[in-house]
Chains A and B, each alone.
Chain A
């Protein structure tokens, strides 16, 4: 498995670059990673990431967009605005979680 190093943080990833061990994540690392995709992690950006991490820790799977709305109470439009393009993948990556496997 590839190992990434960013500003002194080291973490293992799968072939695509998603985390394989969520424990290697830290908010500081997430902020540095966000800069790589031109995003600044303010509170609004962090809230969904924190929900994803706690939900994944509890249920063992990266939550889907629908779950983030239905269970986390997040607004779908807002998530697309915060993370344009590929919101689910971007959030899963920044939250240090495996690639999402849910379909909806």
Chain B
């Protein structure tokens, strides 16, 4: 590897420093002593929700973590199992019901200020409202270059993420192996996951 010139500003790519340096053992020891794990950084996501809007956070942050060289594990449990069920994962829904933060930027065109008004909860229960809200969210995500859930799982798997289904949820939902997204590595128990996630930062969604 060529030597970096003095004063050369370059991004930190997190690659191991060249061993011939010889001036940093004290710092290296101090860092190792304060970290809980000495290996590369790891993140473990627990996805417990099956609504479209709650499916995306782990996929987006997980993908970002992978591009930053962080090892990523995702455990799909309870309603989160729908994210890896090929029968339904392209049909996850977004509902206004129970979401008091739901307001629409587009409504500013109708009347300025309306974009900050929460949509009345009663409207969320009207027939067709969930389908409309879902379609709208999918369109907005598409505009931002965010792929649909099945394609997102493929992207994560190609980037090296490890995906697991929760055995208890799998049994409870009477799911069959044929319906699992092909990128899922296995159906494992909570204890298995805890073991696999050793030293990882846990994100529960």
Query: Which residues of A pack against B, CB within 8 Å?
Result: 2, 4-6, 13, 15-18, 32-33, 35-38, 64-67, 69-70, 75-77, 80, 84-90, 93, 99, 102-104
Contact = CB atoms under 8 A, between A and B. Distances in A.
B145 A18 contact: no
B155 A76 contact: yes
B25 interface: no
Interface residues of B, number: 27
Contacts of A76: 155, 158-159
Contacts of B127: none
Contacts of A87: 67
Contacts of B5: 5-6
A104 B60 contact: yes
A90 B11 CA distance: 8
A13 B10 CA distance: 8
B145 A85 contact: no
B9 interface: yes
Interface in B1-43: 1-2, 4-5, 8-15
Given A76-B155, A86-B69, A103-B64, A64 B10 contact: no
Contacts of A99: 11
Nearest to A14: B9
24 contacts: A5-B8, A13-B9, A15-B9, A33-B10, A35-B2, A36-B2, A36-B8, A37-B15, A38-B15, A65-B63, A65-B159, A69-B158, A70-B147, A85-B69, A86-B13, A86-B14, A87-B67, A89-B11, A93-B11, A99-B11, A103-B144, A104-B145, A104-B147, A104-B152
Contacts of A86: 13-14, 67-69
Contacts of A64: 145
Contact of A104 (B1, B146, B158): B146
B158 A17 contact: no
B160 interface: yes
Contacts of B15: 37-38, 85
Contact of B159 (A80, A89, A90): A80
Contacts of B159: 65, 76-77, 80
Contacts of A33: 10
